[in-house]
Amino acid sequence: MGDAGREGCSNQSEGAVIASLSLGALTDLDDDALRALYEPPRTPWLRVNFVSTLDGASQGSDGLSKGINNAADKRVFDILRSRADCLIVGAGTLRAEGYDVPPLPLVVVSRSGELPEGLMHASAGRVTMATVAHAPHLARSRSLLGPDGVIVLGEETVDLVALKSVLAERGWVDQLCEGGPALFGSMLQAGIVDELCLTTVPRLVAGTAIRIAGGVDVDVRLRPEVLLEEDGTLLGRWLVN
Ligand SMILES: NC(=O)c1ccc[n+]([C@@H]2O[C@H](COP(=O)([O-])OP(=O)(O)OC[C@H]3O[C@@H](n4cnc5c(N)ncnc54)[C@H](OP(=O)(O)O)[C@@H]3O)[C@@H](O)[C@H]2O)c1
């Protein structure tokens, strides 16, 4: 693909759906141009970022996203992190992927309230736990993170609509979620997702890997805003209609 970041598409037969689509080669964009392509149109704005194979796997044979991601994906992943006010991640992903404390505020979503091992020694204010009143590990999380480090949103189920608002009230209006699939499914059901950034790597892995969204049934329509390419890897920015 040439004409990186060009607006619109010349193929009239594809109509209004792609009228404002930016198409281009990732390598033609410097970091400032790439960052500008991901500007949120309003705030608060919740963006979810995933990588998948062509056959829809969100994990490689190691059971992790690092088994399928690549340098092009990492470049956009880093750009999205660099512009976000906070990072929201499900506790399952944090445990599976062994996340360290990132440079931006991290919000852990957990029904159990159990803080993933790698985050136990985070300094004050770096990690926030979003959980429920009946979480079995609530007291322990409070003692590790301090009272301001734990947000209780609901009795049995985390109120994700409230989560988006509470984070915005803290000034975290450009919100980035890196999954995982269970949390993404719940967010779609709650109607709080504004955007999906999806890297599709040109691989097929078959097997039993889970997809990027799981759990509940939803039917959410999206429209393409940006589609970039590098060595067969497609990097899409999709907005929820
Ligand atoms: N390809 C990618 O881009 C990508 C991205 C992320 C993850 N992954 C992969 O996905 C796998 C993990 O999948 P997963 O579905 O288990 O991830 P997940 O959604 O991060 O983890 C599920 C756990 O997170 C908490 N959680 C999720 N949704 C919640 C909600 N609505 N309310 C309260 N707590 C909630 C719960 O934690 P508690 O058990 O503490 O209650 C739940 O057991 C890993 O293999 C990871 O590598 C892939």
> Where are the chain's structural domains?
43-85+178-241, 88-172
pLDDT along the chain (241 residues), means of 10: 44 48 93 97 98 98 95 98 98 94 96 95 93 98 94 98 98 98 98 98 96 97 97 98 85
Atom from ligand 1 closest to the CA of residue 89: 20
Of 231, 209, 219, which is closest to residue 50 (Cα–Cα)?
Answer: 209
Q: What pLDDT is recorded for position 116?
A: 96
Residues within a 6 A CB radius of ligand 1: 50-51, 58-59, 63-65, 90-93, 96-97, 109-112, 114, 158, 178-183, 186, 214
Q: What pLDDT is recorded for position 78?
A: 98
CA 111 to CA 209: how far, in whole Å? 23
Q: What pLDDT is recorded for position 19?
A: 57
Q: What pLDDT is recorded for position 241?
A: 85
Report the residue among 54, 69, 70, 110 best suited for mutation to probe ligand 1: largest number of ligand atoms under 8 A from its CB: 110
For residue 164, the CA-to-ligand 1 centroid distance in Å is: 17
For residue 89, the CA-to-ligand 1 centroid distance in Å is: 7
Of 105, 197, 112, which is closest to residue 158 (Cα–Cα)?
Answer: 112
CA 105 to CA 124: how far, in whole Å? 10
**C-alpha distances in angstroms, 204 versus 53, 65, 229, 230, 233?**
6, 14, 18, 17, 13
Whether the CB-CB separation of 42 and 164 falls below 8 Å is answered with no
Global pTM value: 0.94
CATH code for 43-85+178-241? 3.40.430.10
Same fold, 43-85+178-241 and 88-172: yes
Atom from ligand 1 closest to the CA of residue 57: 1
Q: What pLDDT is recorded for position 164?
A: 98
Angle, CA of 124, 145 and 142, to the nearest 5°: 155
How many C-beta atoms lie closer than 10 Å to residue 62's C-beta? 10
CATH fold of 88-172: Dihydrofolate Reductase, subunit A (3.40.430)
- Residue 49, both tokens: 């970022």
